[in-house]
């Protein structure tokens, strides 16, 4: 069972893999991307993954057989384990808990070579729907405080398998980055009775200088204080705190907007490696928090995607300070991306 440990200095949770811990010789080099070899995510290899928890497009045939459009399976090497009750322990000045959680993989397509940005928009919408269905389902588990949906595209971005896939991790704690966003949004709301994200989106759309595109009520822009070159923020223009409450029309709009942004990135930056992650409201059903903690959440949080192309290396300065040197002003990044001819 992995462990969750808390750092009292940085107030950060870390997952420590206590079984099969990697030894010095395991780090001889960073793993190369699989190429040409066997792929457990390809059609026909369904028995090489744990049994699917969700499938689209395979009607009337046996589970875990070919003929599917999208599959969701538990991760074969999960960072957190689904079985058991949460057990919180103090260790002197430190805190730890057993590594309860869920770790799933969305196999976006049976085809090994079609990247997310190249999917037809109808298929892209199905992927967004799968995100939503899994998010809703995992939020039913009251042990989980947060569900993170994220994608690592390309080996530089941390992908260990090149077959197009997204990962979902449900955690029994609210991650620090999300906790910080929730706190900032709450503080803003307490003073102004307006959503911080709505205020930012309004200002970005009025100025327009960092906007990349606007599609059916979704907007994509380069953040004012972007950490990385060509970092992108995508959110609904209309206030909405919870991705799992989006309508089908909104999912379609998101699919079109995200697909357009990925297409622009691909052309501008020659198919770059990237990460994206969804930040949505934490699990308000979870009873482990004090009752009124989430009282204003529907007013003060605003779900969004963050996309980070992996173009520069992070070094000691970034790790040492938590602040970043961005060599491309977001106004320039937005203009380059806006001016791409699709």
Contact status: 8 vs a copy of itself (CB under 8 A): yes
Binding to a copy of itself by residue 74, rule CB under 8 A? no
**Could you give the string, one character per residue 97-136, with x where binding to a copy of itself holds by CB under 8 A and - elsewhere?**
----------------------------------------
Task: Quote the least distance from Cβ 286 to a copy of itself, whole Å.
Answer: 16
Each residue 80-99 as x (binds a copy of itself by CB under 8 A) or -, in order, gives -----------xxxx-----
Distance, first Cα to last Cα, the chain: 48
> Shortest distance, CB of residue 266 to a copy of itself, whole angstroms?
11
Task: Verify whether residue 123 is a known catalytic residue.
Answer: no
Residues 278-317 that bind a copy of itself (CB under 8 A): 278-279, 306, 308-309, 311-317
Radius of gyration of the chain (CA): 20
Task: Measure the CA–CA gap between 281 and 146, rounded to whole angstroms.
Answer: 8
Which DSSP string do the residues of 59-124 spell out, in sequence order? -SS-TTSS--SEEEEE-SS-SSBSSS---EEEETTEEEEE-B-EEEEEE--S-TT--GGGS-HHHH
Rule CB under 8 A: is residue 27 a binding residue for a copy of itself?
Answer: yes
Q: Is 318 marked as binding a ligand? A: no
Q: DSSP state, 268?
A: H
Options 30, 62, 191, 342; binder of a copy of itself; rule CB under 8 A = 30
What SS3 class is residue 159? coil
Which of the residues 165, 188, 239, 241 is marked catalytic? 165
For the stretch 132-167, what's the b/e string if a residue is b when 16 or more beta carbons lie within 10 angstroms of its beta carbon?
A: bebbebbbebebbbbbbbbbbbbbbbebebbbbbbb
Task: Please state the separation of Cα 167 from the chain's center in Å.
Answer: 7
Closer CB to a copy of itself, 47 or 199, in the complex: 199
Contact stretch for a copy of itself (CB under 8 A) within 35-43, 136-144, 266-274, 288-296: 266-274
Q: Is 198 annotated as a binding residue?
A: no
User: Residue 18 to residues 7, 21, 119, 279: CA-CA distances in angstroms?
Assistant: 17, 6, 38, 28
Q: Which of 52, 126, 326, 334 binds a copy of itself (CB under 8 A)?
A: 326
Rounded Cα distance, 195 and 186, in Å: 8
Touching a copy of itself, residues 190-219 (CB under 8 A): 196-197, 199-200, 203, 207
Q: Is 42 annotated as a binding residue?
A: yes
* Ligand-binding site membership of 241 (annotated): no
Q: How far apart are CA 30 and CA 41, in angstroms?
A: 22
DSSP classification of residue 43: T
Q: Is 302 annotated as a binding residue?
A: yes
54, 114, 133, 157: residue in contact with a copy of itself (rule CB under 8 A): 157
Q: Which residues are catalytic?
A: 165
Q: Which residues are annotated as a binding site?
A: 39, 42, 112, 163, 181, 279, 302, 304
Known binding residues for Zn(2+): 39, 42, 112, 163
């Amino acid at each position: 069972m992995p462990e969750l440990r808390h750092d009292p200095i940085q107030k950060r949770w870390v997952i420590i893999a206590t079984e099969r811990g990697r030894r010095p010789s395991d780090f001889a080099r960073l793993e190369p991307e699989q190429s040409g070899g066997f792929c457990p995510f390809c059609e026909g290899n369904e028995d090489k993954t744990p049994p699917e928890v969700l499938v689209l497009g395979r009607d009337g045939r046996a589970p875990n057989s070919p003929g599917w459009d999208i599959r969701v399976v538990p991760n074969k090497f999960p960072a957190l384990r689904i079985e058991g009750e949460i057990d919180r322990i103090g260790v002197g000045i430190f805190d730890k808990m057993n590594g309860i959680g869920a770790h799933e993989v969305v196999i976006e397509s049976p085809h090994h070579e079609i990247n997310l940005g190249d999917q037809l928009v109808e298929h892209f919408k199905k992927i967004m729907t799968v995100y939503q269905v899994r998010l809703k389902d995992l939020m039913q588990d009251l042990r989980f405080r947060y569900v993170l949906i994220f994608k690592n595209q390309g080996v530089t971005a941390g992908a260990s398998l090149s077959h197009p896939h997204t990962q979902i991790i449900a955690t029994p704690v609210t991650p620090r980055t999300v906790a910080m966003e929730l706190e900032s949004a709450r503080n803003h709301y307490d003073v102004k009775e307006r959503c911080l994200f709505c205020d930012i989106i309004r200002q970005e759309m009025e100025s327009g200088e960092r906007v990349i595109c606007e599609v059916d009520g979704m907007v994509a822009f380069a953040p004012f204080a972007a950490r990385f070159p060509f970092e992108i923020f995508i959110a609904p223009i209309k206030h909405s705190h919870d991705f799992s409450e989006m309508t089908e029309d909104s999912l379609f709009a998101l699919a079109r907007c995200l697909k357009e942004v990925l297409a622009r990135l691909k052309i501008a930056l020659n198919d770059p490696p990237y990460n994206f992650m969804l930040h949505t409201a934490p699990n308000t059903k979870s009873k482990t928090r004090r009752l009124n903690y989430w009282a204003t959440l529907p007013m003060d949080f605003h779900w969004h995607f963050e996309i980070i192309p992996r173009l520069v290396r992070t070094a000691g300065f970034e790790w040492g300070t938590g602040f970043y040197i961005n060599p491309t002003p977001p106004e320039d990044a937005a203009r380059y991306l806006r001016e791409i001819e699709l």
